Amino acid sequence: MIQLVRGFKDILPDEIGIWNQIEQTAADLLNLFGFKEIRLPILEKTELFQRSIGELTDIVEKEMYTFPGSRDEMLTLRPEATASVVRAYIQQRLYAVDPIQKLFTMGPMFRKERPQKGRYRQFYQINAEVFGIASPLMDAQLIIILSSLFMRLNISGLCVHINSLGCPECRPAFKKALMETFAAVSQELCADCQRRREKNPLRVLDCKVPSCRQAIASAPAMTDFLCHACDTHFEAVKAALGQQGIAYVVNPWLVRGLDYYCRTAFEIQTSQLGAQNAVAGGGRYDGLVQTLGGPSVPAVGFAVGVDRLVDIMLQQGKCVESVPDIFIAPLGDAAVQKAFEWSCALSKAGVRTEADFTGKNLKALMKRADRLHARFVLMVGERELEEKAVVVRDMESKKQISVPIEKMVEEIQKLARNGFNQ
């Protein structure tokens, strides 16, 4: 039998209720905050990710699914969405309509990482990206939106980590201090970090190899190097979070695995998924639009890892099951024909209906209704057809009522809305 590719997974109907709930809740919330949806291709030119995420990052060096396209072009399955949103903002000249754009997008991303719990090679993100707003209030508002999302989904045990990564003014001095620290402990660094410490020492801070983690324990913090403007910005983000009652920790080790960030970087972390502790991450990327050939426009955004949220919600026993309002159990050929007609009519009337056309006996039909967790079962046989009234049973209370066939659709509609009591 042909199995699925390692690190990829099927999302089965049992889980789909939670996926829909997360996506719908996020879309509703983002709409409330003025975001508009954008849908983008999952395939882009490789160069887009090389130039945005950065050549010396794990993602670009090791994790992209890249292959030749037409002509001399290399193509890549997107490992993240920010670069694509920026490309669309520039290419579709969205900035010419209004430099301020608040966009969200959802969909699959691809990274060839070592698969483990919470880490997949195809995973899903919900991204929110804001263009044209330099204010630290926007950074704070994105963290507030994330916090509201988790509250609406009833997810507990999360922690907001924030840091400032400075700007092209103040970061060089920090980088220099990092290089000096790492030069002194270079023997203890892994092969990747030995290579990166000179050109991109921030990536060393992000390394998960235990010997590197030890070596960087004595590294300086970016927050000690911030210029006045970056410091003021960071203080304003913290003040706005404090004003809205959002608890956070300042984490000087939080550098994020992508090169485009400046100033605010944040992550929402959990201790419930083992090593994969981030359920969302984001930050400011003021230089990226210009780097990719657009105007000088500030930007900030986040991505939520939907798979990880689903894993946490399943772990916390949250289950959203889509069950039929009514299961039609017909006995005999004439009743099966009616079951077909009624299931069409009821579904059209907005009642979630499952009808059985197999001609099985009542015991087998009731067993199936139970397995589907149907709220009501409509029983119909020759006698009911003659008497022009069907029997409807509430599967929880086991109470039964008789419903005239003539008024069946509206009566069942009422039942689906209000149950037996109203």
61 forms part of the interface with ligand HAM (CB under 6 A): no
Residues contacting residue 381 through CB under 8 Å, at least 6 positions apart: 330, 331, 332, 335
Among 279, 380, 395, 416, binds ligand HAM (CB under 6 A): 279
Nearest to 62 by CA among 182, 197, 192: 192
By CB under 6 A, the residues from 307 to 366 that bind ligand HAM are 307-308
What is the nearest approach in angstroms of ligand HAM to the Cβ of residue 180? 28
Q: Give the nearer residue to ligand HAM in terms of CB position, either 63 or 325.
A: 63
Is 225 a residue that touches ligand HAM (CB under 6 A)?
Answer: no
Q: Which of residues 127-166 bind ligand HAM (CB under 6 A)?
A: 127, 129
CB closer to ligand HAM, 182 vs 261: 261
Residues 6+ apart with CB under 8 A from 419: 375, 394
Name the one range near ligand HAM by CB under 6 A: 16-24, 94-102, 212-220, 302-310.
Answer: 302-310
Binding track over 101-130 against ligand HAM, x by CB under 6 A: ----------x-x-----xx--x-x-x-x-
# residues contacting ligand HAM (CB under 6 A): 25
The least distance separating ligand HAM from the CB of residue 145, rounded to whole angstroms, comes to: 12
For residues 146 and 408, which CB has a smaller minimum distance to ligand HAM in the complex? 146
Between 153 and 351, whose beta carbon lies closer to ligand HAM? 153
Chain centroid to CA 288: how far?
A: 23
Q: What is 62-85 written as a DSSP string? A: II-EEEE-STT-EEEE-S-SHHHH
Answer yes or no whether residue 283 interacts with ligand HAM by CB under 6 A.
Answer: yes
Where do runs of H (alpha helix) occur along 287-381? 288-291, 306-315, 333-348, 362-371
Tokens of 223: 């927050």
CA distances from 385 to 16, 100, 327, 333, 377 (A): 38, 63, 17, 11, 16
Residues 52 and 86: beta-carbon distance below 8 Å: yes
Q: How far, in Å, CA of 53 to CA of 60, rounded?
A: 7
* Host H or E run for residue 197: helix 191-199
Nearest residue (CB) to ligand HAM, 136 versus 257: 257
CB nearer to ligand HAM: pick between 8 and 95: 8
Residue type, 278: A
Beta strands in 142-229 (DSSP E): 158-164
Which among 295-303, 313-321, 345-353, 357-365 is the span making contact with ligand HAM, rule CB under 6 A?
295-303
Task: Give the one residue of 50, 52, 76, 82 binding ligand HAM; rule: CB under 6 A.
Answer: 82
* Three-state SS sequence of 116-136: ECCECCEEEEEEEEEECCCCH
Neighbours of 92 (CB within 10 A): 11
What strand order describes the sheet that includes 43-45?
43-45, 74-77, 65-68
Residue nearest to ligand HAM (CB): 305
Question: Residue 281, interface with ligand HAM (CB under 6 A)?
Answer: yes
Kindly indicate which of the ranges 28-36, 156-164, 277-285, 357-365 contains the residues binding ligand HAM, using the contact rule CB under 6 A: 277-285
Nearer to ligand HAM, 103 or 416 (CB): 103
- For 307-327, letters b (16+ CB in 10 Å) and e give bbbbbbbeeeeeeeeeebbbb
| Nearest residue (CB) to ligand HAM, 150 versus 342 | 150
In the complex, the smallest distance separating the C-beta of residue 141 from ligand HAM, rounded to whole angstroms, is 14
Binding residues for ligand HAM, rule: CB under 6 A, are 80, 82, 111, 113, 119-120, 123, 125, 127, 129, 257-258, 278-283, 285, 301-303, 305, 307-308
